[in-house]
């Protein structure tokens, strides 16, 4: 199955009053990468989540958004710095005695002393929290893959339409190619007859035509194009992460088309080559989004 690298998936799971919601967005990218945005207490699960996603994704840049409803993500504890509080009280007593001040240090005062009382948060690694979150990730990535597969099918169909067009143009070019040498022979013969008042040198004509035929021969390029067309179809049928293979073939198609264009000394062939390059460029745009 061919997949696009563009897609979206979302899912939410609930258990024991805890709900985890996950969104995944993907775009084309040379490698595979996940940028995660999730609550800080869940960061210890980030690598586990990425590995679950990578079981389904071979290429693409993904944006992961995670949210959790519920207060079970962290446990809060009050921590008292007893030595520091003792220091505050001791200093307060010394100040009272030295300057004849009145008043006593109260419980309210103790809570106001800087750095004495702090609330610390610790992530709660609950088994059901992990189950809920990873279940939501699995559902979201499957939905994402479904969208990527549907888009991949459309990309495949469009690419194969252009491949069929390229095959037709190649066949037409192959038919036109022998005429190029014949036309060159006729033009050269006419010029030689016009320039020379004596009898025409047949051997010279033959040599020039033979050299031209060798320079303009596109048999190898046409053969390679046909081979590439066949390979393109075979790879599409294989499926999987084939984007890089198809991208390489597109480069080869473009190379052969350019070579034919440089060799062809014919207006009609040149016109066909321009059409070929247009189709190849469209295939390239599509292939760059295939996983």
CATH number (domain holding residue 47):
3.30.230.10
| Model confidence at 202: pLDDT above 90 | no
Residue 207's pLDDT is 61
Tokens coding 202: 């047949």
Distance between CA 275 and CA 130 in Å, rounded? 55
Token pair 């690598």 in the structure block, residue: 47
Mean pLDDT confidence for 76-89 = 89
One domain, residues 12 and 132:
yes
Choosing from 85, 112, 147, the residue where a domain stops is 147
- C-alpha pair distances (Å), 119 with each of 70, 107, 165: 19, 17, 70
- Residue 60 falls inside a structural domain: yes
Mean pLDDT, the chain, integer: 85
- Residue 2 falls inside a structural domain: no
- Residue 30 falls inside a structural domain: yes
Tokens coding 158: 């469009």
Residue 33's pLDDT is 95
Tokens coding 78: 């009050």
Tell me the β-bridge partners of 24: 9, 64
Tokens coding 280: 């190849």
Could you tell me which residue, 202 or 214, shows the higher pLDDT? 202
103: domain range? 74-123
Q: How many domains does the chain have?
A: 3
Tokens coding 5: 């690298």
- Residue 1 falls inside a structural domain: no
One domain, residues 32 and 110:
no
One domain, residues 56 and 79:
no
Which pLDDT tens digit goes with each residue over 143-186? 999 999 999 999 999 999 999 999 999 999 888 877 765 555 55
One domain, residues 143 and 165:
no
Which pLDDT tens digit goes with each residue over 240-260? 889 999 999 999 999 999 988
One domain, residues 141 and 215:
no
One domain, residues 241 and 256:
yes
- Residue 103 falls inside a structural domain: yes
Contact 70, 17 (CB under 8 A): yes
Token pair 């939410």 in the structure block, residue: 12
Q: How many residues does the chain have?
A: 291
């Amino acid at each position: 199955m061919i997949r696009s690298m563009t897609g979206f998936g979302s899912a939410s799971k609930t258990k024991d009053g805890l709900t985890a919601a996950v969104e995944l967005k993907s775009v084309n990218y040379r490698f595979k990468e996940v940028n995660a945005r999730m609550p800080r207490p869940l960061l210890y699960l980030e690598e586990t989540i990425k590995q679950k996603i990578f079981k389904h994704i071979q290429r693409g840049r993904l944006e992961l958004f995670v949210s959790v409803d519920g207060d079970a993500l962290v446990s809060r504890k009050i921590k008292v710095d007893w030595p520091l509080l003792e220091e505050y009280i001791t200093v307060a007593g010394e100040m009272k005695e030295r300057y004849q001040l009145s008043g006593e240090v109260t419980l309210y005062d103790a809570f106001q002393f800087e750095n004495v009382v702090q609330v610390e948060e610790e992530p709660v690694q609950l088994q059901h929290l992990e189950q809920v979150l990873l279940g939501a990730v699995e559902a979201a990535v499957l939905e994402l893959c479904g969208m990527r597969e549907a888009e991949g099918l459309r990309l495949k169909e469009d690419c194969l339409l252009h491949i069929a067009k390229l095959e037709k143009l190649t066949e037409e070019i192959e038919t036109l190619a022998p005429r190029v040498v014949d036309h060159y022979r006729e033009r050269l013969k006419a010029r030689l007859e016009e320039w020379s008042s004596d009898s025409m040198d047949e051997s010279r004509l033959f040599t020039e035509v033979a050299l031209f035929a060798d320079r303009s021969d596109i048999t190898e390029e046409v053969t390679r194009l046909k081979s590439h067309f066949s390979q393109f179809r075979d790879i599409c049928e294989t499926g999987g992460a084939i984007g890089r293979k198809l991208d390489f073939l597109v480069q080869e198609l473009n190379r052969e088309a350019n070579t034919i264009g440089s060799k062809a000394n014919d207006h009609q062939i040149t016109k066909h080559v321009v059409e070929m390059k247009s189709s190849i460029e469209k295939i390239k745009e599509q292939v760059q989004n295939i996983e």
